[in-house]
């Protein structure tokens, strides 16, 4: 079960015009709040976005699939976002925030997939613009933005021995993953 869910939890970048509700986004955070965190300090805070107008204002400030000459159109753009923040007063270093955010963001991606949505973790977005747009106070540092929607594309995993660059061919997005044998340095 867990293997299947992890395999199916891919980065999706093309979405149907199906809305995710505020309640569903809250359900995602209800799962994410069980994530492990350094010192159990729990510095991560969330901005949940499902409003159509705000989604369309956020979209132009996001960058997609840097390896390929392809971008989602407005018609296939995300219908929701989760912005992850570090509440500064909790006092967690940037390194540990990034660690905690990695754990929580993957749990969010898994939960979204289990709910038949799909996401894409977006690190490449215009932080100053989004900070202003969403009126985020200086009490928070911005982390990744998770784009959300009902996936409209096929993403396939293929084996690779060296070249890890993803590519698109005939409308299918291929993601090369290193083989198990290439990952294990020792098994003693």
Q: Which of 7, 17, 33, 63 binds ligand FMN (CB under 6 A)?
A: 63
Which range touches ligand FMN (CB under 6 A), out of 62-70, 74-82, 83-91, 127-135? 62-70
Q: What are phi and psi of 60, to 5 degrees?
A: -65, -15
Residue 91 in the binding site for ligand FMN (CB under 6 A): no
Q: Which residues, other chains included, contact 153 with Cβ-Cβ below 8 Å and sequence gap of 6+?
A: 12, 13, 14, 171, 172, 173
Least distance (Å) from ligand FMN to the CB of residue 172? Answer: 12
Q: Is 120 in the site for ligand FMN (CB under 6 A)?
A: yes
Residues 83 and 121: their CA atoms lie apart, in Å, by 10
Q: Least distance in Å: CB of 17 to ligand FMN?
A: 20
- Using an 8 Å Cβ cutoff, are 57 and 129 in contact? no
Phi, psi (degrees; rounded to nearest 5) at 85? -125, 155
Is residue 77 a contact residue for ligand FMN (CB under 6 A)? Answer: no
Q: Which of 33, 123, 159, 172 binds ligand FMN (CB under 6 A)?
A: 123
Closest by Cα among 77, 81, 84 to 153? 77
| Residue 11 found at the interface with ligand FMN (CB under 6 A) | yes
Counting Cα atoms < 13 Å in the Cβ hemisphere of 153 gives 27
Q: Tell me if 179 contacts ligand FMN by CB under 6 A.
A: no
- List the one residue from 15, 81, 117, 166 that touches ligand FMN (CB under 6 A): 166
Closest approach of ligand FMN to the CB of residue 23, in Å: 26
């Amino acid at each position: 079960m867990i293997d299947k869910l992890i395999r199916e939890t891919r980065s999706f970048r093309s979405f149907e015009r199906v809305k995710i509700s505020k309640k569903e986004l809250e359900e995602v955070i209800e799962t994410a709040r069980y994530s492990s965190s350094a010192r159990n300090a729990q510095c991560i805070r969330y901005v949940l976005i499902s409003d159509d107008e705000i989604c369309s204002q956020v979209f132009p400030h996001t960058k997609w699939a840097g390896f390929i000459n392809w971008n989602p159109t407005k018609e296939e753009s995300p219908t929701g976002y989760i912005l992850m923040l570090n509440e500064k007063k909790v006092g967690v270093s940037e390194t540990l925030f990034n660690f905690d955010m990695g754990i929580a963001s993957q749990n969010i991606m898994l939960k979204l997939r289990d709910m038949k949505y799909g996401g894409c973790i977006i690190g490449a977005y215009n932080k100053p613009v989004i900070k202003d747009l969403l009126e985020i106070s200086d009490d928070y540092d911005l982390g990744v933005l998770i784009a959300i929607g009902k996936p409209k594309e096929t993403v396939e995993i293929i084996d690779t021995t060296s070249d890890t660059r993803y590519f698109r061919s005939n409308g299918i997005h291929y993601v090369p993953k290193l083989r198990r044998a290439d990952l294990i340095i020792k098994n003693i």
